[in-house]
Structure 1
Amino acid sequence: MESQLSQSGNVPKRASDTALSMATAMDLKLFKVFKAVVESGGFTAAQAELNIGLAAISKQISDLEIRLGMRLCTRGREKFGLTEQGKVIYQASLDLFCALDEFRGRLGNVRGELLGDLNIAVIDNTCSDPNSPLINVLQDWQAQAPKARMRLSVAPLEEIEQGILKGQFAAGIVPVYDDKYEFEVLPMYRETSELYCSHDHPLFALDDAAIDDNLLSQAEYIDHVYANHQEKFRPLGPRNISAIATQVEAVAMLVMTGRYLGHLPVHWAKIYVDRGQMRSIKAKRFRVNTPFKLLYRPNGRSNPLLDVFLQIMQQHLSDKVAVLASGQ
């Protein structure tokens, strides 16, 4: 006696199977919108990235949820966040667009062109550092890949590292304090930071010779969370840290209140020093040289755009070493 299944010749589809089959034929535009919303941190912030209105973004995310048969994120009055299913779909979308970029790269190789997007991330407030070759590297990369698109993001250290590992970024330029075994690492340059106070701070008017350990022990300091390492506070200890900042500009704001001392990159603080609004405190004692490195995933998918970027970066770094060696 034949069963109903054998008579039909087909196994009935489950709801999840239907959602999956629909997802495989999904318009990539919806996944692109979803990816942009996640990476922008919400619907409102994604408007500039996508160049469409809030209502259109909301509708397209709703369409994607309906067609996938699952809720991807919270919105409305709730703080934006991904559901557990949304996290899986976001990672899958990263893999999808990485695969598309790889396809474009292979197509471009056949045609002798560099095509697609290259996603690079950098830490905040590094543009003015004369030691960084990034701007010159970007210029040369644009010249070699005129039909490709550079997507340059500024993000905190932890987000850059996680973004590289997840495939959101092809590479990142960050301060590196510890060995990074999970990445391929290209050493780039060192950023010099010094300890600063503002013109409203009691130490501003004193010569370095008059600033002894007793005065320093009474001062209050800023803990720069993502750019902190032992060397910065080793001479004084952490007992006087009474403020926390997560970005260079936040450190500068707190320094400018006149209450705190804080480490800032010399290249970034220069504009305040030139205006007479800040000064460095005992530069030789508190100077810190932070290594900046380019990180990228080992054994990742073939990425011709990244390969060219790395080649140009290595050439600039080699040229700089040669100039320094020649004493010019």
Structure 2
Amino acid sequence: MESPLSKFGNTSPVKSDINQQNIGVADLKLLRVFKTVVEAGGFTAASNDLNIGLAAISKQISDLEIRFGMKLCTRGREGFYLTEHGKVAYQACLDLFSSINQFRDTLNHARREIFGELNIGIIDNTITDRKSPVVGALSEIHRQAPKVSVRLHATQLEEIERGVIDGRFTCGIIPVYEEKTDFDYFFLYNEISHLCCSYQHDLFTLAPESLTDARIESASLIKHFYTNHSHQNPTLHFQPSNAVAVQVEAVTMLILTGNYVGFLPEHYISRFVSEGKIKALKPEDIYVTTPFHLVVKKGAAQNAVMKLFLDALKHEPVVADVHSGAR
């Protein structure tokens, strides 16, 4: 309820230090009392709403007038009236508390939201792996925290490791051939690789009974830069090779020449197998399991964005029906 303007006008202002001090908690309490009095239409009605006595209300209104250096209202036999200054103060009071409520609501809303940036370094050529949870996790991040900025970098292993160490990447998703003390590791899934040859290689057309270990060992094996696969297949002993490759696509190119055999991820070769260009040699017996981990810098604190991403990676992976790429 808005009280009428006082017919007596304004009295001489009281000296105040309001220009020298900020609005504090005590001022807010007095302003709440003033607002309640105005909306109740007087001290008596406000005393019930505030659950305090008339003398206390009168004292607090007087304190507020002294604090602001202006007469805000008249009270007495003539009733309760706002002065011109009082009317301005009441409107300002409404604006102030509206702003406070908006500020509170904004913070409460922000508290339920997640902001930040997620820079991910990921080894390339993994999108065809149905066991990879990355696509599903990124979808979950967007669903739960659409204001998070996501940057995805597909690059080589060493670049990802350097980026995580120097802080360019929040995390990396990589094949782990050996664990290093620079990182904390979170296991995601295993990638299976098979020993492969192309349709131009002599081993391609051999019958299963003719595909002996000795015949396979006679082939020239592409040395993968990151790991020596022979220790995971102790029955095979290949001769030193003059072919070295770093990325999966590079291994594939060398295999397609018909001069070499090499290990390729199972998910990656499906396209070439269906086209009759590549064949896995004794896939049930000769294969390599490579664990994929999410890695972060050793001891790095996990913020809300990182925790959400880790949790999202635990969900069922989204199947990606994509058949090309390059590591």
**TM-score calculated relative to the size of structure 2:** 0.60
TM superposition shift of 1:109: 8.8
Distance 1:268 1:227, change over 3 A: farther
The percent of aligned pairs where both chains have the same amino acid is: 38
Distance 1:109 1:156, change over 3 A: farther
* Paired position in structure 2 for 1:85: none
Amino acid at match of 2:124: D
1:153 aligns with 2:142: no
* Paired position in structure 2 for 1:171: 171
TM superposition shift of 1:237: 2.9
Structure number with greater CO (CA < 8 Å, separation at least 6) is 2
Runs (5+) with no aligned partner, structure 1: 1-106, 318-328
Q: Contact conserved, 1:231 with 1:288, CA < 8 A, in 2?
A: no
Secondary structure at 1:263's aligned position in 2? strand
TM superposition shift of 1:111: 5.2
Q: Contact conserved, 2:174 with 2:292, CA < 8 A, in 1?
A: yes
* Paired position in structure 1 for 2:211: 211
Distance 1:108 1:214, change over 3 A: farther
1:93-108 aligned at under 5 Å gives the runs none
* Paired position in structure 2 for 1:239: 239
Tell me whether 126-135 or 211-220 shows the greater mean CA deviation. Answer: 211-220
Runs (5+) with no aligned partner, structure 2: 1-106, 318-327
Distance 1:228 1:240, change over 3 A: closer
Distance 1:290 1:191, change over 3 A: same
Secondary structure at 2:204's aligned position in 1? coil
Q: Contact conserved, 1:222 with 1:245, CA < 8 A, in 2?
A: yes
TM superposition shift of 1:160: 1.2
* Paired position in structure 1 for 2:255: 255
Q: Contact conserved, 2:177 with 2:226, CA < 8 A, in 1?
A: no
Secondary structure at 1:270's aligned position in 2? helix
* Paired position in structure 2 for 1:225: 225
1:12-91 aligned at under 5 Å gives the runs none
* Paired position in structure 2 for 1:136: 136
Distance 1:109 1:125, change over 3 A: farther
Cα offsets for 1:45-80 (capped at 9, x unmatched): xxxxxxxxxxxxxxxxxxxxxxxxxxxxxxxxxxxx
Amino acid at match of 2:170: A
1:305-324 aligned at under 5 Å gives the runs 305-316=305-316
Amino acid at match of 2:300: G
Q: Contact conserved, 2:198 with 2:258, CA < 8 A, in 1?
A: yes
Q: Contact conserved, 2:194 with 2:288, CA < 8 A, in 1?
A: yes
Distance 1:108 1:120, change over 3 A: farther
Secondary structure at 1:161's aligned position in 2? helix
Q: Contact conserved, 1:221 with 1:261, CA < 8 A, in 2?
A: yes
**In 2: Cα distance, 1:109 partner to 1:185 partner:** 33
**TM-score calculated relative to the size of structure 1:** 0.60
Amino acid at match of 1:141: I
Secondary structure at 1:242's aligned position in 2? coil
* Paired position in structure 2 for 1:115: 115
Amino acid at match of 1:146: P
**In 2: Cα distance, 1:238 partner to 1:261 partner:** 11
**Total equivalences in the alignment:** 212
Amino acid at match of 2:118: L
Q: Contact conserved, 2:116 with 2:149, CA < 8 A, in 1?
A: yes
TM superposition shift of 1:239: 1.9
Cα offsets for 1:218-277 (capped at 9, x unmatched): 211101112544435643335242211110011111111111101000110000000111
* Paired position in structure 2 for 1:199: 199
**In 2: Cα distance, 1:293 partner to 1:175 partner:** 6
Instruction: Report which of the two has the higher share of helix.
Output: 1
* Paired position in structure 2 for 1:188: 188
TM superposition shift of 1:300: 2.2
TM superposition shift of 1:284: 2.5
* Paired position in structure 1 for 2:50: none
Secondary structure at 2:307's aligned position in 1? helix
TM superposition shift of 1:108: 11
Q: Contact conserved, 1:108 with 1:115, CA < 8 A, in 2?
A: no
Secondary structure at 2:235's aligned position in 1? coil
* Paired position in structure 1 for 2:75: none
Secondary structure at 2:300's aligned position in 1? coil
Distance 1:213 1:314, change over 3 A: closer
